[in-house]
Amino acid sequence: MFLATRSRLFAIAYRMLGTVSDAEDILQDCYLRWQSVEQSEVRDPVGYLVRVTSRLCLDHLKSARVRREKYPGEWLPEPILTNEPLERLDHDVSVALLMALERLSPAERAAFLLHDVFDTPFAEISDLLERSPASCRQLATRARKKVQDGKPKKRVAPGEGQALTEAFFRAAKAGDLDGLKHLLADDVQLISDGGGKAMAALNPIFGADKVLRLFKGLARKYPGQSPTQTHRCYLNGLPAMISLEPEGLVQATALEIEAGLISRIYVIRNPDKTRHLLSALQNANLPQK
């Protein structure tokens, strides 16, 4: 039963916590607890596993909130590879959603995810959060509004997204500022996460002019330096590129695109968050037989 439900449990844990490694740890703890109970006496195994996973996540969030407050620079969720763009995924796992969830309280996050994403009745959420069903409904309503406010207004067609991603990387690595200028929305945002372990902007960069100045400075500081390996893919349902940078760092860059222009650029350079992508990058660059 645990193995049959594992993908659902991981989906809950990853959205609750925003990291692959923490979600895997939660699932390991859940499995141990499942093994320690008399399984034949559990009337609703799936519901039981969902409750255990959710409770473990809520406990983890209490300590994680303290660590996140001390996090150096901007925090971005740990990226996951998805085979499809957001339009074709069962559930939204976009960076924008995960960042919006990060701004919610643990109770709001649990109520919203369990009800809106995983169709859990408020009566069950009430038992988990130790609140009345009406209170849980209010939590979900508040969370839903905050999440909707942070979502892009209109998605781009998958093929167009990949073409814009290719054009963006070619222009960025070549220092082609004129080419970049035509790809960026006027109010574009660039958010980078180095976790204090890799070079990254400590604060978000707002506006096309400032983003262009950043790329101009990088091209001047590191002339002619290009990634040794690249892999075009989808990360969290967004068109993206994984790259092995000249210094040996695995970098993940995902783009949000609205109305044919790049509206948000997410650059993840914290090695703790990208090392699990190295195997996908290497496999993609193996010689074809």
pLDDT of res. 242: 93
Are 79 and 274 contacting, i.e. CB atoms less than 8 angstroms apart? yes
The DSSP code for 207 is S
Q: Where are the alpha helices (DSSP H) in 70-129?
A: 95-102, 106-112, 122-129
Here the tokens at position 117 are 């994403």
Euclidean distance between CA atoms 164 and 36, whole angstroms:
51
Distances (CA, A) of 241 to 4, 50, 267, 274, 288: 32, 33, 10, 12, 20
Are 251 and 267 in contact by the 8 Å Cβ rule? The answer is: yes
- How far is the CA of 56 from the CAs of 61, 225, 279, in angstroms? 9, 44, 29
Distance, in Å, from the CA atom of 50 to the CA atom of 185, rounded to the nearest integer, reads: 41
Per-residue pLDDT tens over the stretch 26-43: 999 999 999 998 888 888
Q: Quick one: pLDDT at residue 91?
A: 60
111 SS3 class: helix
Domains of the chain are: 2-149 (1.20.140.160), 158-284 (3.10.450.50)
Distance CA 35, CA 29 (A): 10
Spatial separation of the C-alpha atoms in residues 61 and 147, rounded to whole Å:
18
Q: For the chain, list residues with pLDDT below 70.
A: 64-67, 84-92, 150-159, 224, 287-289
pLDDT at 188: 95
For 191, the 3-state DSSP assignment is strand
- Strand, helix or coil for residue 185: strand
Q: Give CA–CA dist 248/175, Å, rounded.
A: 21
Distance CA 48, CA 35 (A): 12
Q: Encoding tokens for residue 14?
A: 């990853």
pLDDT of residue 40: 83
Question: pLDDT tens digits, residue range 122-143?
Answer: 999 999 999 999 999 999 999 9
- Classify each residue of 189-217 as buried b or exposed e, where b means 16 or more C-beta atoms within 10 Å of its C-beta: bbbbbbbeebebeeeebeebeebbebbee
